[in-house]
Chain A
Amino acid sequence: MTFVKPAVHHKRLEKNALGLTVRDYEGALSTLCAGCGHDSVTAAIIQAFWHLSIAPHRVVKLSGIGCSSKTPTYFLREAHGFNSVHGRMPSVATGANAANRELLYVGISGDGDSLSIGLGQFCHAIRRNVNLTYILENNGVYGLTKGQFSASADVGSKAKRGEENRQQPIDPVMLALTLGATFVARSFSGDKAQLVPILEAAFKHQGFALVDVISPCVTFNDHVGSTKSYMYTREHYRELVEADLVPLRKPIEADGARAATTQVRMHDGSLVTLRGTEPGYDPTDRDRVYMRLREIAKAGEIATGLLYVEEGGADMHEMSATTETPLVEVPFEELCPGAAALDKLMSQFR
């Protein structure tokens, strides 16, 4: 068994603006099951960070508990990391983000961690619009406890031993839309061509960005009858919006063959080009997106793409009117001016 991925790499591997190869963005060798969708999501995260030339030490990766929550170990070994309590990643991320708003936050969670034990946390992080990319590795089962249905299992989906799920699923995409999330996407671990640009746009988004990724559990939920298998996902996959991120300072080339329907300028000035695959779909119109997604779900299809985006909304820091300077950089005396200052403040409320 191999425990360490050898450092040897292709001599002609491309380097990014920081002079790093994609291999420099890796972490430890995965101990998840061979063929797990999560590993493929990990690889997509690595590619997105590399492609955007983001310095690994400027990134904070956080997770809760579950197979999905192991994955931060497998990318960006030089980033900051926090493995929190089950379902509590959003509050840790919120706290970290409050302390240092200048780092890039990426939270990795799963359908159990987000939709069962952590559902409340998930909702409130959206409400607060924490500047965080929230990747939900969604496989419809509790893989770590041997394959019980999770809260995202579809009605009628079959477990490995044949029983059918009868409870209604929680769809994180619909939930996020109703809660007012400003960036909502769904993708598939087996389609990096779609997933990587979505992740790049999510990293650039100012505010909470949900990326729900169908990430098949190869051990407990990749059989005939499952609605979250590789095969089922590929057969019922409908890409509604193609996204392309044009990073800042890169010339924007017009692609004559495929007319861009919408362009969204991200907080840092980079541009996301969104191409609807069906006429009339507007990824900036929350109500109509919601309606169309319901129709597609009813038809038994899986809508994917950068489904909804709203740039320019106030994130947690703006809403709270915190200082522009990250709190970690504010001198201690200013941050904690002492008992006298506190008394003075308190006296204003008497």
Chain B
Amino acid sequence: MQPTDTRDPDYYHRVVDCQWACPAHTNVPEYIRLIAQGKYTESYMLNRRSNVFPGILGRTCDRPCEPACRRGRVEEKPVAICRLKRVAADLKGEVDHLLPTAPAEKNGKRVALIGAGPASLTVANDLMPLGYQCTIFEALPKPGGLMRTNIPAFRLPAEVLDTEIDYILRMGVEVRYDHRVESMRALLEDGGFDAVFVGTGAPKGKELDLPGRREGAANIHIGIEWLEAVHFGHVERIGERVLVIGVGNTAMDCCRSSKRLGGKDVKVMARRTRPHFKASPWELEDAEEELVEILENHSPAEFLIEDGKLVGMRFELVEWYEDESGRQRSRTVGRKDIPCDDVILAIGQDNAFPWIERDIGIEFDEWGLMKVDKKTFMTTREGVFVGGDAAWGPENIIWAVEHGHQAAISIHRHCQGKPLTDRPPNALELTSSKMGLHEWSYASSYNPKPRVKMTHVDLAARLREFSLEVELGFDPDQTALEVRRCLNCDIQTEFTAKSCIECDACIDICPTSCLTMVENAEEPALRKRLTVPADNLTQPLYVSAPLPQTKRVMVKDEDVCVHCGLCAERCPTSAWDMAKMDLKIPHAK
């Protein structure tokens, strides 16, 4: 193998699994260290730089970082990254003076943002400080988009939402509430905007067209519409027996909301088996804790109607097998009728763009989505950008935020007449964390404590009061334990081959057997040759330049390195160093 180029910012970035997995590349280890030092405000601001809504995301994020967390490969469970984010938001001090501000003198460019969800808000957050005049068009009377209408208050209190949205709007963003954009053509021709950003989400719940759907309509609800109606107080009750169809995160919000609105016997009906559920494992657990029953292998067949009223649902019982091509297929093995008073459909969301004319240069694909450039987020019409769920269908908030950042870069370049594809690169800075002999500027020792469990409010209390937040958040003691579980993956093991005397000290001391000095070979052979064979192909190998004395190479399997710094402590020539990585991820500027 060729020596690894650690100057390529992507190499060390990949080592920080959480940051690499986060769509917005939040600097997780650094914000956890700041929390550990009690610097909640600084931690919050560092978070905000990349993910814009730490308080919101600290409660609702889909957490792509946690399954990626190295700790999950080293022991059982990943660091509670998401809940630590919430700690920073909960305990932060005054931040007003630290927030971005808009200059009094504008740059003369006007940007229209359609929909006041996380994508549009992020664009405004990035462009307002540069002197843009941003106008948000929002169909509803309040900002936030699906963050507000689809996430029940017991998971995300309104104050948190209001505060973090206000940090952006207070820069002087113009918001036109109750203003649904009905014609893109009109906006483009008469609006006088230099750029338009579409952040309208995927606001249309999927329909389930089965016999009885029309007759039972009064008691059959579309999940996201029903959640919105609950949010605005249009719906206050639901029947005692509720069936929720679908097993994504929206289904979890629907079933848990039902429990609070009079539902006693609430069942989530899934076609597939648990490993294939779309909902995050923790959301499933939270629902089950509230005594929601989740049934596998039930495929909806018919709404049962008596005297014009919904009385239940018929399901086909299925079992799954693998066909010759290895694909999962189902066969029907029986039928079952389950009585119910209400059905909520939570089987997915669609995009809807009836308001965008098809002859104005914005091309659509066969699924009714706009053709959007994956890098620049621009449509086929110059100056029209898309992000969030509106771009490629339903994702989650953190993706919308990252789309917003990227679109903001594009809009800024577009307004300056610069090419959009020529984007600012990531930059890498490495600083030794050596403070003295065997002293590091980070807590290097491995803490074997298991993941701290989130405390929830009492079941009876939460079902009594709809908007009572279920999760209490970590208290200072819990926080102190959890922060020490972070492995500091951003403190990189930096190797200088020409200093190595091949004494084996690093290899002998490494607690997780990551290091090997070995004759070089091609990657597959090299992976087999290591102290512990590097079977996890998703994790890269570091390969040094040939070593001075024997011309072997130093190979490090990045898979389970706990960044304890022992290799560097035991290295007599400082060929190993623990160097703190600062990845500079550019935003619009």
A interface list, Cβ under 8 A from B: 1-2, 4-14, 23, 29-30, 33-37, 39-40, 42-43, 189-190, 192, 216, 218-219, 222, 230-231, 234
Contacts and interface: CB of A to CB of B under 8 A. Distances in A.
B17 to A, nearest CB: 16
With a 10 A CB-CB cut-off, give which of A1, A23, A30 has the most chain B CB atoms.
A1
A9 B512 contact: yes
Nearest to A230: B501
A6 B503 contact: no
B535 A12 contact: yes
Contact of A5 (B439, B503, B511, B535): B511
A12 B560 CA distance: 10
B569 A1 contact: yes
B438 interface: yes
B562 A10 contact: no
Given A1-B439, A2-B566, A10-B514, 14 more contacts: A2-B438, A2-B444, A2-B445, A2-B569, A4-B445, A6-B562, A7-B511, A10-B513, A12-B533, A23-B511, A29-B509, A39-B508, A43-B504, A43-B508
Given A1-B439, A34-B572, A35-B570, A10 B503 contact: no
B505 A35 contact: yes
B571 interface: yes
With a 10 A CB-CB cut-off, give which of B445, B504, B509, B573 has the most chain A CB atoms.
B504
Contact of B513 (A6, A13, A192): A13
**Which 5 residue pairs of A and B lie closest in terms of their CB atoms, listed nearest first?**
A35-B572, A6-B446, A43-B508, A1-B438, A40-B504
B263 interface: no
A6 B445 contact: yes
B571 A34 contact: yes
Given A2-B438, A8-B511, A190 B502 contact: yes
With a 10 A CB-CB cut-off, give which of B549, B564, B572 has the most chain A CB atoms.
B572
B532 A5 contact: no
A196 to B, nearest CB: 12
B549 A231 contact: yes
Interface of B: 73-75, 437-439, 444-446, 448, 501-505, 507-509, 511-514, 532-533, 535, 549-550, 560, 562, 564-566, 569-573
A255 B303 CA distance: 73
Contacts of A218: 501, 503, 572
A33 B503 CA distance: 12
Nearest to B532: A10
Contacts of A39: 504-505, 508-509, 570
Contact of A6 (B501, B550, B564): B564
A223 to B, nearest CB: 11
B513 A34 contact: no
Contacts of A190: 502-504
19 contacts: A2-B445, A2-B564, A6-B448, A6-B562, A8-B446, A9-B511, A9-B512, A12-B533, A34-B569, A34-B570, A35-B570, A35-B571, A39-B570, A189-B504, A190-B502, A190-B504, A219-B572, A230-B501, A230-B503
B505 A40 contact: yes
B509 A5 contact: yes
Contacts of A192: 504
A8 B562 contact: yes
A35 B511 contact: no
Contacts of B550: 234
Contacts of A23: 511
A9 B513 contact: yes
B507 to A, nearest CB: 8
A30 B503 CA distance: 15
A7 B75 CA distance: 11
Contacts of B571: 34-35
Contacts of B509: 5, 29, 39
With a 10 A CB-CB cut-off, give which of B446, B508, B550, B570 has the most chain A CB atoms.
B508
Nearest to B570: A34
A62 to B, nearest CB: 22
B504 A6 contact: no
A37 B503 contact: yes
B548 to A, nearest CB: 8
Contacts of A5: 509, 511, 566
Contact of A234 (B513, B549, B566): B549
A2 B565 contact: yes
B448 A222 contact: no
Given A6-B445, A230-B501, A13 B532 contact: yes
A140 to B, nearest CB: 16
Contacts of A1: 437-439, 569
Nearest to B75: A8
Nearest to B534: A12
Contact of A12 (B438, B532, B573): B532
B154 to A, nearest CB: 37
Contacts of A12: 532-533, 535
A5 B533 CA distance: 22
Contacts of A30: 570
Contacts of B573: 35
Contact of A231 (B74, B501, B504, B560): B501
B410 to A, nearest CB: 43
Contacts of B444: 2
A34 B549 CA distance: 19
A30 B73 CA distance: 27
Given A2-B444, A9-B511, A40 B503 contact: yes
Contacts of A4: 445
Nearest to B571: A34
A234 B507 CA distance: 19
Given A1-B439, A7-B448, A222-B501, A40 B566 contact: no
Contacts of A34: 505, 569-572
A10 B549 CA distance: 29
A9 B504 CA distance: 18
Contacts of B532: 10, 12-14
Contacts of B438: 1-2
A194 B446 CA distance: 33
A13 B505 CA distance: 19
A7 B448 CA distance: 8
A57 B123 CA distance: 66
A25 to B, nearest CB: 12
B493 to A, nearest CB: 15
Contacts of B572: 33-36, 218-219
B503 A35 contact: yes
Nearest to B437: A1
Contacts of A222: 501
Nearest to A21: B513
A35 B507 CA distance: 11
A218 B439 CA distance: 20
A148 B446 CA distance: 39
A6 B511 contact: yes
B511 A230 contact: no
Nearest to B562: A8
A222 B532 CA distance: 30
Contacts of B512: 8-10
A109 to B, nearest CB: 20
A328 B74 CA distance: 44
Nearest to B512: A10
Contact of B560 (A11, A36, A189): A11
